[in-house]
Amino acid sequence: MNFASDNWAGATPEVMAALGRANDGFAPAYGNDALTQRVTARFAALFEREVEVWFTATGTASNSLGLAALSRPGGLVLCSSEAHITTDEWGATEFQSGGMKLIALPQVAGKLQPQDVVDALGRYPAAGRFGTPVALSLTNATELGTVYRPADIAALTAPARAAGLAVHLDGARFGNAVVATGASPADLTWRSGVDLMSFGGTKNGCWAAEAIVVFAPDRMRDLAARRQRAGQTFSKARFVAAQFEAYLDDGNWLRWARHANAMAERLRAGLRASNRARLGWESEANEVFAVLPGTSVAAIRAAGGSLHEWPADSLPVGQRPEAGETLVRLVTSWASSADEVGRLLSML
Amino acid sequence: MNFASDNWAGATPEVMAALGRANDGFAPAYGNDALTQRVTARFAALFEREVEVWFTATGTASNSLGLAALSRPGGLVLCSSEAHITTDEWGATEFQSGGMKLIALPQVAGKLQPQDVVDALGRYPAAGRFGTPVALSLTNATELGTVYRPADIAALTAPARAAGLAVHLDGARFGNAVVATGASPADLTWRSGVDLMSFGGTKNGCWAAEAIVVFAPDRMRDLAARRQRAGQTFSKARFVAAQFEAYLDDGNWLRWARHANAMAERLRAGLRASNRARLGWESEANEVFAVLPGTSVAAIRAAGGSLHEWPADSLPVGQRPEAGETLVRLVTSWASSADEVGRLLSML
Amino acid sequence: MNFASDNWAGATPEVMAALGRANDGFAPAYGNDALTQRVTARFAALFEREVEVWFTATGTASNSLGLAALSRPGGLVLCSSEAHITTDEWGATEFQSGGMKLIALPQVAGKLQPQDVVDALGRYPAAGRFGTPVALSLTNATELGTVYRPADIAALTAPARAAGLAVHLDGARFGNAVVATGASPADLTWRSGVDLMSFGGTKNGCWAAEAIVVFAPDRMRDLAARRQRAGQTFSKARFVAAQFEAYLDDGNWLRWARHANAMAERLRAGLRASNRARLGWESEANEVFAVLPGTSVAAIRAAGGSLHEWPADSLPVGQRPEAGETLVRLVTSWASSADEVGRLLSML
Amino acid sequence: MNFASDNWAGATPEVMAALGRANDGFAPAYGNDALTQRVTARFAALFEREVEVWFTATGTASNSLGLAALSRPGGLVLCSSEAHITTDEWGATEFQSGGMKLIALPQVAGKLQPQDVVDALGRYPAAGRFGTPVALSLTNATELGTVYRPADIAALTAPARAAGLAVHLDGARFGNAVVATGASPADLTWRSGVDLMSFGGTKNGCWAAEAIVVFAPDRMRDLAARRQRAGQTFSKARFVAAQFEAYLDDGNWLRWARHANAMAERLRAGLRASNRARLGWESEANEVFAVLPGTSVAAIRAAGGSLHEWPADSLPVGQRPEAGETLVRLVTSWASSADEVGRLLSML
């Protein structure tokens, strides 16, 4: 009953096999190898256009370096109040960018609302007393398990782009968003106004496969140099490339994400039907938020299950846990089993 | 004939096997897993004392974060003029430390000399006009293929420690130094005055296995937080731990390093005997520096061989390449074969 | 009718005279002169205890360097949503501190409320996912013209200190707070739990006289070195010392602040009595916030008057300007005259 | 007998008078006042072209912010080994630029040699292993009292510009260089290839009057925002403007610099004639370097004189002080008197 995080799973057999295949002979270091070049071409095919692909070690690295490449002194980044970049990265973007400020906007179940972006652009004009907004950052799937569809994204990016901002996407769970929306990677990104993204493979079946994918290289400043200076340029880059090759082969990544999402939906269905627990809010990707009796949380843990408690203020006032209740996050992955889900639900 | 760098090789079969073994079931993220804990204990046994072990993605990350954890505003780091931290890391230490300055001291075949350290401590007093020296950084094996023995290290660290400096060791090729000197890891580090080191496994048979090993945790400031902020905290940390487990098992790392050093010695022997080429200087680890006829360099490359040209000013005036000659670096690894070495020598 | 800001006034005659007196002969640079030493002793007398005094060029410099000296990677600073450090300093604190994050808490007319500080300490535990709170920053007089009394400050600092945070005070208008509260400088600072402050003289009659006054030097890290590195160490420091000497002589600073506050009170009284304009909220120091008819704003400007419009969202929903109205800020200074105030009020 | 530094003098009567004149009434803050605008026009006239003028608090601020506005990750700044930016500013440029590295080149009596610049450009190619050179920084008058003439500057900047570098000038003692060379400000700067400079008034008769003067604004990135973020934007900017107005009026600055240079020449003449002391090297501006008997140094100090000892390694091997001798720096200013000079010389 492992529902703590999708990063508690290991790598898929396909990823392991690809690593084995890549481990043959010598190859130039720092991404100058044939496999890395081949994988870059795969990304281009996936996104139906030329892209730049820069491997990094972690999603935090991708987010902070990508945003730093957009940074200016006095720069502001608009994001949701639940955005991982502002809640979990210990000031990584602030640090890499030399002090940009993240402006946390309201969200509904993790999703930014167009009017709030418009209002923020009014409140934070370019070169105003607060500084200058330089980027809007979205996350898809969001940190709260919900997803943006292409039209949602376009509605958010249009006013931002009109005001001169670049658009960044945190895609730590991008595969889950693609599956949940049924939209193409292109429609979920550059065709809807996204300039660069953090493309995450780690949570969805790899060991450590993260990349910054750039759609608008002329908006970036010194991204390669920033990555080098940050100690994020793997010498044996083919070990990342191999993971991504297996990831993108045969639609593997979507198959894995589809499984994770399906397990999450099974959780949601069980919770909707429960009379002891309830969904915190509806989600569509592989994260489920539920209000459970504290006794159930204790019982799950006693049975060896893992899950994370979640701050109650992610729920609107009025829907927050009552005494004896706890808001929890349940995350499924490529490795979650229907059995595990069943066991958990049987305890509710 | 791959002699460009030890990071052109892949991972050893033992490392691949360990990755496979580690890929079983779920494990807590961010280093809270049992394997990471076990590997930390292995490091303690290796160094014959308690240590802190912090995985990172690259040697540049280890060096810059380790030194940043020692940093102060106006801080100075004394290092050799050939130190990787000052020649190849694009200002990583300057950046992570908020602007420390690296003071490049003279070296002889890559090795710092005690008198130069003493002189530098005189020239750069604490809180003087230049700032305050906070660390001495050594590299072993050095960037020029030479090695420090424990007494060499102690002679360098003693005056630095007396002046209040901490001592950092760049151990990107530490295994090669251990083998070349026959000294124990403990004697080459904390028993000779080293406070923390970058312990590299990548060049010697791993995919991406780097760690900051800390002997003096009370000298460090916020190392864990700095690593997190730098996007250097792998979520699936066991993939690094597994590599290090295979690395340290059965003395594998020393066996691999011994092979690399032996191949380098075979190269050196051939070069000493050559009447068309000559050694730039004697070395002991897995890097060989040689002055070759330009025609030989071209021929090697035409035959598919790889090597790097090296700045002539690493040689003393008077010994530098003459017209038609080139200084080159030849690096061997666990994957180098005697055949390859023989083929190269046959072209000289 | 200059009500744009207290930094539109020049220096007082006393300050000019002191500059003239200090301009005699040679004196050691960088604060090693007798006058600077004497002024430091004056600060100690003022605060009834030993203090460290570090001159800087601006309030932004004082705030950002003072907070940086408390910084840790992943550090958080709790402040009000109207705090100058988060609204007007273009990421100065984020930059100087290497990426600390400012957490903007709710406020009432610019004043933090104890329960909000307590709640924030619960939401942001040390070394939690958000990072580690390291400081609480207050402003007195606040950016909205209100003031904290010693008991107010103690109620805010007690929970913060209990949680290990240091307490910073932005005293850009500290003189106005001293006068408005009638409390002693000591009671408004260290006796109520403040560890360091930005002590501003510029807005209250000097040219450029700002200092970081430190009550808890053992909590600071490398403040002097940070100031040096930031280019904030004046060589001819006596020109700042001279201003502060005049400032503190004969209670001059309180006399000037008292005048400014009195002019503001006259404005407030007039606005309370007006039937065309109204106070946005009650204040006590030298800043007055008023909702004026847009036509009056235009008329004042046409008559050569200066004032700043202020974001309507500083007012609670329901009290915000209606169509045709504007929220404005009116600031008085040592140089404001009753005539000017009268002229302004006559236009309302 | 004050020869410690030109920053031990106060401000000239003309500067004090101008401050008094500027202290009349209200003026917009942050440089939006008429006087600042007028002074900017004066700078344009002085340099015979349009310029941007940004006031700062100190020379360190000007240097580090100006260079930061040219910075790139992995950037390198070529400068002399005696450059103030690398010897005395505690990593200010490294900090403000996010980690640029200063490359200290050889110099002869403080002056860079064209061949050394050419060699460095060869050793540090763009995007090479060391990073990317982005700027050449010169100082005029140099830190060792010597001066560059326009042809000297052009010979240094030509290869740097050809390689794409920008050229920065540290003009902390620019007035002394103008007087010593007899060249125009334009010929000593942009007409010889300089893109931006630190224009210092403090050492030559002001209290705190420093500015970044930009000739090539399109090479700068976000200089205004960087200055704001660094807390270097004075609110009552007219107090700097007033100093500069007096400075540039009637050629005052050149008159003051001419006096300082003349006093230095008198020192040099006396030292050339002495048989107990000798010049370290010939200089032309207001800094004189001399090798004195240690007994004379002690006697001067006993008589209340001030001077600084200087590192012996600024002299070539062979010319360094012998036992019982000390290399000292003697600095004259607008306030130095012939009497003082005579007294000092009489002690040698």
* The amino acid at C141: A
Q: What pLDDT, on the 0 to 100 scale, is given for residue B228?
A: 97
The pLDDT tens digits of the residues spanning A266-312 come to: 999 999 999 999 999 999 999 999 999 999 999 999 999 999 999 99
pLDDT, position B271: 97
The CATH number for D269's domain is: 3.90.1150.10
Q: Which residues span the domain enclosing C220?
A: 10-251
Q: Is residue A230 part of a domain?
A: yes
A102 at interface of C, judged by CB pairs closer than 8 A: yes
- Is residue A24 very low, low, confident or very high in pLDDT (cuts 50, 70, 90)? confident
Q: Which pTM does this prediction carry? A: 0.97
B163-201 confidence digits (pLDDT tens): 999 999 999 999 999 999 999 999 999 999 999 999 999
Q: What is the pLDDT of residue C24?
A: 87
pLDDT confidence of residue B276: 93
Contacts of D225 in chain C (CB under 8 A): 90
pLDDT at C160 over 90: yes
**Closest Cβ opposite residue C229 in set D9, D91, D229:** D91
Per CB-CB distance under 8 Å, the chain C contacts of A95 are 73, 98-99
- When pLDDT is averaged across residues C174-189 and rounded to a whole number, the result is 98
Alpha-carbon distance A176 to A191, whole Å? Answer: 19
Give the Cα separation of C232 and D60 in Å (integer): 8
Q: Do B94 and D88 touch (CB under 8 A)?
A: no
Nearest CA in chain D to C59: D231
- For B74, the closest of D91, D101, D102 (CB atoms) is D91
Q: Are residues A274 and A204 located together in one domain of the fold?
A: no
Residues B18, B70 share a domain: yes
D311 inside 8 A of chain B by CB: yes
**Burial bucket for residue B338 (CB in 10 Å: 0-12, 13-18, 19+):** exposed
Q: Are residues C202 and C340 in the same domain?
A: no
Residue A57, pLDDT above cutoff 90 = yes
Is A1 domain-assigned?
no
CATH number at residue D114: 3.40.640.10
Give me the mean pLDDT over the B292-302 stretch: 96
pLDDT at D124 (0 to 100)? 97
Decide if B64 and A29 are in contact by the 8 Å CB cutoff: no
Residues D227, D78 share a domain: yes
d(CA D278, CA D291): 5
**Chains in contact with A via at least 3 Cβ–Cβ pairs below 8 Å:** B, C, D
Residue C2 belongs to a domain: no
Q: Is C238 on the interface with D (CB under 8 A)?
A: yes
For residues B216 and B281, membership in a common domain is answered with: no
D269 in the same domain as D179: no
Which of A61, A228, A236 faces B202 most closely, judged by CB atoms?
A236
CA dist list (Å): C119 to C113, C114, C170, D140, D322: 10, 9, 22, 57, 69
Q: Which long-range contacts (CB under 8 A, 24 or more apart) does A297-304 make?
A: A297/A326, A297/A328, A299/A347, A300/A1, A300/A344, A300/A347, A303/A1, A303/A343, A303/A347, A304/A1
Q: What is the ipTM of this complex?
A: 0.96
One domain, residues C123 and C92: yes
pLDDT for the residue numbered C265: 98
Q: Is the domain of A238 the same as that of A153?
A: yes
Cβ of residue B250 closer than 8 Å to a chain A Cβ: no
Residue C187 predicted with pLDDT over 90: yes
Do B91 and B69 have their domain in common?
A: yes
Q: Where are the alpha helices (DSSP H) in chain D?
A: 13-22, 34-47, 59-68, 84-87, 92-96, 114-123, 150-162, 174-181, 223-229, 238-248, 252-273, 294-302, 338-346
Task: Give tens-digit pLDDT for B51-72.
Answer: 999 999 999 999 999 999 999 9
Interface contact D315, partner C, CB < 8 A: no
Alpha-helical runs (H) found in D141-213: 150-162, 174-181
Q: Nearest CA to CA, how far is C128 from chain B (Å)?
A: 11
Q: How many Å apart are CA C146 and CA C143, to the nearest integer?
A: 8
Task: Report if residue D3 sits inside a domain.
Answer: no
CA distance linking residue A103 with residue A78, whole number of Å = 5
Q: Which of C72, C221, C225 sits opposite B225 (nearest CB)?
A: C72
DSSP per-residue letters across D246-277: HHHGGGHHHHHHHHHHHHHHHHHHHHHH-SS-
Considering the domain boundaries, does residue B4 fall inside one?
A: no
Whether omega before A260 lies within 30 degrees of 0, making that bond cis, reads no
Residue B2 falls inside a structural domain: no
Q: Which of B201, B229, B251 is the last residue of a domain?
A: B251
Final residue belonging to a domain, choices C189, C218, C251: C251
C342 — contact with chain B (CB < 8 Å)? no
CB-based contact (8 Å) between D235 and chain A? no
Residues B247 and B295 in one domain: no
In a domain, C92, yes or no: yes
In chain B, % of residues over pLDDT 90? 99
Q: Tell which of B203, B227, B251 closes a domain.
A: B251
Q: Do C225 and B98 touch (CB under 8 A)?
A: no
Model confidence over B237-251: pLDDT tens digits?
A: 999 999 999 999 999
Q: Are residues A64 and A149 in the same domain?
A: yes
Residue A16 to residue B24, Cβ atoms within 8 A: no
Do B37 and B110 share a structural domain? yes
Give me the number of domains chain B comprises: 2
Pair D35, D242: CB distance under 8 Å: yes
Q: Is residue C89 part of a domain?
A: yes
Q: What is the three-class DSSP state of C316?
A: coil
Average confidence (pLDDT) over A299-327: 95
Inter-chain CB proximity D95 and B73 less than 8 Å: yes
